[in-house]
Structure 1
Amino acid sequence: MFDMSRKCNDLSSQSQHIEHKIPGWQPSYLRRRVLILFAVTFCGVLAALEALHHVSQAHDGIASSVKSRHYLWTYGTTAIFTVIATFWSRVEFQVKQRAPWKSMAENPGEASESMLLDYISEMQLASIVKAMGNKHFDMASGVTCSMFLRLLVIFSTGLFSLQMDQVHRSSGPIYPVVGQAVINGNQIAMAQVSLRVMEVCLVLGAWY
């Protein structure tokens, strides 16, 4: 009984400490300037994709390329999104880690809704549903954004396609002869489906 009373007192004092700590404290990846940097990054990538799409439409491809360079375009883009997703995973982890303490400080209640609240060990979709039920919208947003970034990585592998030999037709101004020239070169073009899915994910990611 004495041990139980002592534990309750310890929990109460810890809760009071958290109440004073949480409002002025944020984990490093949850600070406002870091989250703004992510939002700016998402918008910058979105603008870059639109610029590349414009070039691809205007010139029937982004650039002439051999097959090996096509792999560089494809997996280079995937690597960029993988790095972004890796950094965002720290945001997701810290928002999950902070959730019990924030809940305890803002609305002390049952241990299952505060100190014993566990989002880290759950599947992402399950943690989103649980967070929405608990009205932990920042937690749900962090995990949802991680899912969008995973989709970005997946669809980025199919963003660029290699178009084969292009055919150009021309007619001479003097002789009524229609000629045909075959250019033995490959053009890197952007796949519309992958591009649009990625743009939606970026817009939602920046909004969340």
Structure 2
Amino acid sequence: MTTLLTLCNVGHCFGPHTVLRGVNFTLDAGRCVVLTGPSGTGKSTLARVMTGLLRPQEGRVELNARRVGFVFQEPRLLPWRTALQNVLLPCDERNPKMKGYALEMLEAVGLANAASLLPGELSGGMRQRVSLARALAVRPDLLILDEPFTGLDGALREDMKALIERLVQAGQSGAGMSVVQVAHHQHDILRHASVQFRLEHGALTVEQGRLL
């Protein structure tokens, strides 16, 4: 089985505050895992380390995924670009097929009619769904979800979870993606997650095995 991500003895501090210490983690292709823990313990920091957005002060990170999608807690959309243009940001816009796929992703998150709207014309929940469509538009081998359902009501949350879970199932059959989900609430956790990790006091431990 292909290993997409490996962390070996990773440590990181912000000033005198240690947020990660001796973190070891391995993610194989087609797996979905969840990262939980108290607020402010470094879950988002660890997610950024996993993707190379943050270089840890200690340890080693090996990222073998060809394409990585990242959904942040905040949408992080460019205000002068339309929803469609924001989805296309990480894509090769010279590829004529990418626009069609980006539109498919907007339709998948329920925003087919919002492609030409600017972020300022969208609600918070709509902006978050554009962010999810943008992460999926790169057809990621690895998808990092940092509390991606912030601002979504119950019905929309379940719809977005179902969308991601369908892609995870495809990954388990060898054609989709792996997922690391940062979650604060149990009702946000993807049903197909195989392992639940807990980050507390800088240490990462396995909290729960099979979640199915």
Instruction: Point out the structure with the larger helix share.
Output: 1
Give TM-score scaled by structure 1 length: 0.25
Q: Which is greater in Rg?
A: 1
Give TM-score scaled by structure 2 length: 0.24
